[in-house]
Amino acid sequence: MKTLDSIPTTKIERASQLLRTGVKVGGNYISYYSEKIVNPSLTRDKLNENNAEDIYDGLKNLKGSALKVAQMLSMDKSIMPQAYVDKFSLSQFSVPALSAPLVRKTFKKYLGKFPEEIYDTFSPDSVNAASIGQVHMATKDGKKLAIKIQYPGVADSISSDLALVKPIATRMFNLKGKDSEKYFKEVENKLLEETDYVLELKQSEEMSNACKNIENLKFPKYYPELSSEKILTMDWMEGEHLSEFTAHNNDREKGDILGQALWNFYMFQMHHLKKVHADPHPGNFLIDTDVNLIAIDFGCIKEVPEEFYIPYFELANPEIINNPMLFDKKMYELEILRQDDSPAELTYFKDVFYRLLSLFTKPFHGDYFDFSDDKFFGEIATMGEEFTKDTQLRKMNGNRGSKHFLYINRTFFGLYNLLHDLKARVNTEDYKKYMP
């Protein structure tokens, strides 16, 4: 794979790259509709493949928040066309890497020395490259290490990237009113946190220490003295990415063991720590030969405030969902229903969220849940497709729901998909044995 000697960082450079991508996508549509006139039976599969490839090619050289969007979309398997899922999933750990000279320059700037002066050995070629940074292998004092290096200019381009995306997102999700800004600010703040490796080091040590007693779950050790705001040094962990493991695993027992560890990890964080690893994609987890789950990235941690946590999980209780008075109360507490809603909006969104919550909270309705259940995920896909075609929904004010929904829902959606990939059968109450 080719390497990069520079990354576009100015607003004009990045906007130009996105504009060129938009032109390519427009050309794909023209070709598709022209061909469809001649061949009415033509499906959108080729169009989706061409668009996915052109969009991904446009984003992968931009890195940062632009590529992070593709990474987040690749988790959305129930709604996104498969061509997009396949292509965008590459952004999790397989994109063009920085060239060796640019890597050495980054070390000199942020640790004051070149890598060969710090480590006993250092591989100039990256092992993995993703949206925010890339990983190199090194050794020091007999230890094998993983060195994560952040791409230059990533933090500086976040605000301008979001400014480019904002008009599109506002139209796509029909956001109205001044308080829609809270959603963009939440995304911007979390992305900026992900570019702060000093913060990530602190979060990594805190999380791994807090969750160390969970069975079949492992973490690397981190080295503050070999880290900085743009460089992070940790133990090298042997294993394959979760998506690579699930591609060949036919042992249901292994899937159950790993799925239970994953479920316990997330429920312990959510219900005890009240903060959670909010980036559950396959590139952030390894599987070792002893069937242990290894969590290797804590850049995105979402704190869950009590005023959100309580009503959010109360709505996982069928007794509350099915009690109209209590249901309405929780909907207002979570800002799903608004005081300025019209009677039509109130009726519509009560019905929509009743259906959504009744489906999405099913794993919490019993002591066990089988995440290999294709019917459950098929219902999610069907509902998602229905909402994308709902003309009434597009007329409603889409600006609703607490800002905390963005990362908490993303966390659960990603978690469900990982458990589905593992075909895991989970004891949903098992995490409680780790609670103080």
Write the DSSP assignment of 336-362 as a string of letters: SS-TT--HHHHHHHHHHHHHHHHHHTG
| Strand spans (E) along 174-258 | 217-218, 231-235, 240-241
Q: Is the pLDDT of residue 403 over 50?
A: yes
pLDDT for res 38: 61
> 419: Cβ–Cβ under 8 A, 6 or more apart, which residues?
259, 262, 263, 371, 426
Per-residue model confidence (pLDDT) at position 74: 43
C-alpha atoms less than 13 angstroms from C-alpha of 336 in its C-beta half-sphere:
24
Does residue 18 surpass a pLDDT of 60?
no
Residues 335, 402 contacting (CB under 8 angstroms)? yes
What integer is the mean pLDDT of 112-122?
96
Region 265-290: mean pLDDT is: 95
Find the range with the poorest average confidence among 80-84, 280-284, 296-300: 80-84
Query: Per-residue pLDDT for 407 more than 60?
Result: yes
Give the Cβ contact number of residue 165 at 10 Å: 17
372: pLDDT confidence band, cut at 50, 70 and 90?
very high
Query: Would the pLDDT of 63 be above 80?
Result: no
Residues in contact with 111: Cβ distance below 8 Å, sequence separation at least 6, in sequence order: 118, 226, 228, 231
- What pLDDT shows up at residue 24? 61
Could you tell me what percent of the chain has a pLDDT over 90? Answer: 52
Average pLDDT over residues 18-41: 61
Write out the H or E segment, with its range, that includes residue 423.
none
Beta strands 97-98 and 231-235, pairing class: unpaired
Residue 160, pLDDT > 80, answer no
pLDDT band at 54 (very low <50, low <70, confident <90, very high): low
Mean pLDDT of 412-431: 96
Q: Dihedral angle at the C-alpha atoms of 92, 94, 95, 100, nearest 10 degrees?
A: 120
One-letter amino acid at 337 equals: L
| CB 127 within 8 Å of CB 137 | yes
Question: What's the helix, strand, coil split of the chain in %, to 5?
Answer: 60, 10, 30
The predicted model gives 170-190 an average pLDDT of 72
- For residue 154, the model assigns a pLDDT of 77
CB atoms within 10 A of CB 9: 18
Residue 73: predicted pLDDT:
47
Round to whole Å and give the CA distance between 315 and 358: 9
76 or 254: which leads in pLDDT: 254
**pLDDT per residue over 288-309, tens digit each?**
999 999 999 999 999 999 999 9
Contact (CB, 8 A) for 93 and 241? yes
Please check the confidence at residue 27 and state whether its pLDDT lies above 80.
Answer: no
Q: Judge whether residue 188 has pLDDT over 60.
A: yes
Model confidence at 13, in pLDDT bands (50, 70, 90)?
Answer: low
What are the backbone dihedrals phi and psi of residue 135, each rounded to the nearest 5 degrees, phi first? -115, 135
DSSP three-state, residue 132: coil
> How large a percentage of the chain has pLDDT more than 70?
72
Mean pLDDT of 83-110: 67
The two structure tokens encoding residue 431: 């995490």
pLDDT at 70 exceeding the cut of 90:
no
CA dihedral angle for residue 244, residue 248, residue 254, residue 255, rounded to 10 degrees: 70
Task: Give the model's pLDDT for residue 375.
Answer: 94
Rg (CA), the chain: 22
What is the pLDDT averaged over residues 74-90?
48
CA end-to-end distance (rounded Å), the chain: 48
Average pLDDT score over the chain: 83
Distance CA 413, CA 335 (A): 20
Check whether 36 has a pLDDT greater than 70.
no
- Using DSSP, state whether 16 is helix, strand or coil: helix
pLDDT score, position 152: 78
State both tokens at 386: 């229905």
Higher pLDDT, 359 or 389: 359
pLDDT above 50: residue 78: no
| pLDDT, mean of residues 108-135 | 89
| 136-159 pLDDT, tens digit each | 999 999 999 999 998 877 777 777
* Residues 221, 209: Cα–Cα separation, whole Å: 10
Question: Is pLDDT larger for residue 50 or for residue 73?
Answer: 50
Q: Is the pLDDT of residue 134 over 90?
A: no
Is the pLDDT assigned to residue 426 strictly greater than 80? yes
pTM of the model: 0.80
Tokens of 258: 């790993």
